[in-house]
C-alpha cells in the first residue's frame, strides 16, 4: 500500500512539473510598454532623420516596409525586454501590432499571438502603446515637430483612409510614460534603448 501511495505522489509531482512547463501553471509575459514607447520614439526619430538626409519628402509603401523592418530590429536590440523575438506588422489604420515571433521569420504565423499595439494620437501629440491585458501608456510630445515629416504624414494619411479621425483617441484612459511602471510579468530592458 505504501509503495502505491509513493507511486501516485511521484506521478502527481511529475504531472505538475510538466503542466507548469507547458504553460498551464505559468503566467503569460506582458510587454514593458515603457520600453515599447521608448524604442518606438527612437525608431521614428532615427528613420525620419534618414529620410531627411536623403531628401525624401513623401514615403512609399517600400519606405514604410523598410521602416517596419528597422523598427522591428530596434524592438529586438539588446538588452531585450521580451523573452521571445518580437515581430511587427503595420495594420491598414497605421496601428503597429507587435507579436511573439517564435520562429523569428518576421511573419505572424498561426499561434504567434499579439503582444502589444502602438497607435498615433495626432490630436494629443502622443504615441499610445497597449498590451494584451488592456493596459495603455502614452508618450506625449511637445510642439508639432512630432507630426512633421514624410513618415508621420504617411501614417496619419493611412489613419484617415481607414476612418480614424484626429479626435479618435481623446477619451482613451492612458497612463503617461513618466508614471508607467511595468507589470511584474514584464522584463525590463534597462535604460532607454536604441540602435
pLDDT (tens, 9 = 90+) of the chain, 195 residues, equals 546 544 544 554 444 434 334 444 334 688 999 999 999 999 999 999 999 999 999 999 999 999 999 999 999 999 999 999 999 999 999 999 999 999 999 999 999 999 999 999 999 999 999 999 999 999 998 776 777 899 999 999 999 999 999 899 999 989 999 999 988 877 666 444 433
Are 87 and 162 in the same domain? yes
Q: Is position 195 within any domain?
A: no
CB-CB contact of 121 with 140 (8 Å): no
> Which residue's C-alpha cell is 525608431?
43
Number of domains making up the chain: 2
Are 56 and 86 in the same domain? yes
Give me the pLDDT at residue 20, please: 39
Are 105 and 11 in the same domain? no
Q: What is the DSSP secondary-structure string of 3-44?
A: HHHHHHHHHHHHHHHHHHHHTSSSPPP---HHHHHHHHHHHH
Are 21 and 109 in the same domain? no
Give me the pLDDT at residue 184, please: 80
Q: Is position 184 within any domain?
A: no
CB-CB contact of 187 with 82 (8 Å): yes
Q: Is position 80 within any domain?
A: yes
Are 21 and 41 in the same domain? no
Q: Is position 123 within any domain?
A: yes
Q: Is position 151 within any domain?
A: yes
All cell numbers assigned to 50: 534618414
Range(s) of the domain holding residue 24: 1-29
Q: What is the DSSP secondary-structure string of 108-155?
A: --TT--EEEEEEEETTTTEEEEEETTS-EEEEE-SSSGGG-SHHHHHH
Q: How many Cβ atoms are within 10 Å of 49's Cβ, its own excluded?
A: 11
All cell numbers assigned to 68: 517596419
111 Ramachandran zone, left/alpha/beta (phi>0; psi -120 to 50): left
Give me the pLDDT at residue 4, please: 53
Give me the pLDDT at residue 58, please: 93
Give me the pLDDT at residue 182, please: 87
Amino acid at each position: 500500500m505504501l509503495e502505491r501511495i509513493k507511486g501516485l505522489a511521484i506521478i502527481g509531482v511529475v504531472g505538475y512539473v510538466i503542466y507548469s512547463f507547458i504553460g498551464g501553471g505559468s503566467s503569460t509575459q506582458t510587454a514593458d510598454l515603457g520600453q515599447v514607447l521608448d524604442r518606438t520614439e527612437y525608431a521614428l526619430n532615427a528613420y525620419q532623420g534618414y529620410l531627411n538626409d536623403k531628401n525624401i519628402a513623401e514615403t512609399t509603401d517600400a519606405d514604410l516596409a523598410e521602416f517596419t523592418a528597422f523598427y522591428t530590429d530596434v524592438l529586438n536590440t539588446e538588452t531585450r525586454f521580451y523573452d521571445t523575438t518580437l515581430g511587427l506588422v503595420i495594420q491598414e489604420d497605421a496601428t503597429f501590432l507587435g507579436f511573439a515571433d517564435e520562429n523569428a521569420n518576421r511573419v505572424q504565423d498561426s499561434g504567434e499571438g499579439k503582444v502589444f499595439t502602438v497607435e498615433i494620437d495626432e490630436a494629443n501629440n502622443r504615441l499610445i502603446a497597449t498590451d494584451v491585458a488592456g493596459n495603455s501608456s502614452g508618450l506625449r510630445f511637445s510642439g508639432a515637430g512630432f507630426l512633421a515629416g514624410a513618415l508621420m504624414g504617411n501614417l496619419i494619411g493611412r489613419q484617415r483612409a481607414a476612418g480614424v479621425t484626429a479626435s479618435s483617441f481623446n477619451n482613451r484612459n492612458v497612463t503617461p510614460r513618466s508614471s508607467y511602471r511595468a507589470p511584474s510579468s514584464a522584463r525590463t530592458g534597462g535604460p532607454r534603448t536604441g540602435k
